[in-house]
Chain A
Amino acid sequence: MLKQTPLNAAHRELGAKMVDFGGWDMPVNYGSQIEEHHAVRQACGIFDVSHMLPVDVKGEGVRAFLKRLVANNVDKLKTPGKALYSCMLNEQGGVIDDLIIYFMDEQWFRIVVNAGTADKDLAWMQHCNAEWGANLSLTARRDLAMIAIQGPQAAAVLHGAMPGSEQTTEGLKPFNAVNVGEMFVARTGYTGEDGYEVMVPAKSASFFWKALLEAGAKPAGLGARDTLRLEAGMNLYGQDMDENASPLESGLAWTVDLKSERDFVGRKALETSEITRQLVGLVLLDKGVLRAHQKVHTRHGAGEITSGTFSPTLQQSIALARIPLGIAPGEEVEVEVRDKKLQAKVVKYPFVRNGKALI
């Protein structure tokens, strides 16, 4: 039996094509994935991301607990509502999950984890809570739905759907959140566009979803979410990194804080391991489509594509690939696609930000 979000009926009403996404019955598109992609780059699209799980961690010493639990440093979070992207590592330095941590107050942080890893994450956090004698309460918030409102017109759509919210949400800086009535509104996203991710009580989710549509948003499915995040150069857990990959070989060194003296889980392993690979962007020069797991040949040896797709914005195929160190942007590599070897160029990513091509 597939799990359903509070918006399941709303998706079916819109004629969504539903798929099994890691055990969840989710909309992959509502007609055309490419049109939904362009709607987000040019106007505003909304996504049901209620399959992701907010976990509230509460109690005395929660900050100290998180300083040990995750690779980024929650001491960067000083004002309530501020958000931080981080990896949660295992002792071997592999990535258990990537997540966003919100600072609510000194007794309460909120962590949003991926859907497919939610059970594993919770179990690990509970394990650490007990092992370290932290004595915190961890609460999975399945009573909250989450809707992402993304695109250059996201602010106008949000205000249209929540009259009176302009004052509180307009000045909201990227990676900051605020409570608006019963909603938790964060200026975050996974598309490379301006936008918000809003947590709303499950019982109010359909009403809010419809208000967003009436305010001019176009519903967008997980298909467009994937092409948008890849153009934006954002990692996808399970593809671009996992428990067997170091964040330092996954383009995530910027999220690992090795400057502070903290003894976080995985630190020793990261500091003693040899880095031999890097995550790079690829643009296909020949015709075709790059896909995950295709083999990449470079002058320093082989690598592999971790995520690949056709970029609707660039009208050519793009990918993230893990390849040996020493291959620089501008160099050409070969990718095995079926029985052919196709030429691709190594580039710096992101590929697209705020509606504009960067390569």
Chain B
Amino acid sequence: MNIPADLKYTKSHEWVRVEPDGSLTVGITHHAQDLLGDMVFVENPAPGRTVSAGEECAVVESVKAASDVYAPVAGEILAANAEVEGSPEKINQDPYGAWMFKMKPVNAAEVAGLLDAAGYKALVESEAH
């Protein structure tokens, strides 16, 4: 299982990268794309939209099923990745490269409350049993 050590994670299987300017880049984990299978559709939030922590703000659909993607923390959407909307299979090929949206957190401290790699690994293992 691929869980990069330098990222933060949510219980709902998003990964979060804290950028040098404090903004966040968000995608779905290797484990999430593996569960869903071949991706065929991505709907991202519109830039400018404000979201609360845990709010449904994007959708990924595989051949098999649709799945909501949640905002990891409260904030404002800064950008959406049009590339994964055009080629959803990139999420399968490179889940940590194929980001979905960028956001500016309301409260940077909230990010510290997300899971680290070890915590996310433990979560995935517990869900497998």
List residues of A whose CB falls within 8 A of some B CB: 17, 28-29, 32-34, 223, 227, 287-289, 291, 309-310, 312, 338
Contact = CB atoms under 8 A, between A and B. Distances in A.
Given A289-B66, A291-B66, A29 B37 contact: yes
22 contacts: A17-B37, A28-B37, A28-B64, A29-B37, A32-B37, A32-B92, A33-B38, A33-B63, A34-B38, A223-B37, A223-B64, A227-B63, A287-B43, A288-B41, A288-B43, A288-B61, A289-B40, A289-B66, A309-B63, A310-B41, A310-B63, A338-B66
B59 interface: yes
Most B Cβ at <10 Å: residue of A17, A32, A34, A223: A34
A29 B43 CA distance: 25
Interface of B: 37-38, 40-41, 43, 59, 61, 63-64, 66, 92
B37 A33 contact: yes
A82 B68 CA distance: 48
Nearest to A36: B38
Most B Cβ at <10 Å: residue of A32, A33, A289, A338: A289
Nearest to A29: B37
Nearest to B56: A338
Most A Cβ at <10 Å: residue of B37, B61, B66, B92: B37
A289 B38 contact: no
A34 B37 CA distance: 9
Q: Which label, helix, strand, loop or mixed, suits the secondary structure of the A interface? A: mixed
Nearest to A316: B40
A27 to B, nearest CB: 12
Contacts of A291: 66
A289 B61 CA distance: 7
A28 B36 CA distance: 11
A38 B129 CA distance: 33
A33 to B, nearest CB: 5
Given A33-B38, A289-B66, A312-B63, 9 more contacts: A29-B37, A33-B37, A33-B64, A288-B41, A288-B43, A289-B61, A310-B41, A310-B63, A338-B59
A292 to B, nearest CB: 11
The 6 closest A-B pairs by CB, nearest first: A310-B40, A34-B38, A289-B61, A310-B63, A289-B41, A33-B38
Contacts of A338: 59, 66
A191 to B, nearest CB: 15
Most B Cβ at <10 Å: residue of A33, A309, A310: A310
Contacts of A33: 37-38, 63-64
A227 B38 CA distance: 12
Contacts of B37: 17, 28-29, 32-33, 223
Most A Cβ at <10 Å: residue of B38, B59, B66: B38
Contacts of A34: 38, 63
Contacts of A29: 37
A54 B123 CA distance: 43
Most A Cβ at <10 Å: residue of B59, B61, B64, B66: B64
Nearest to B65: A291
B43 to A, nearest CB: 8
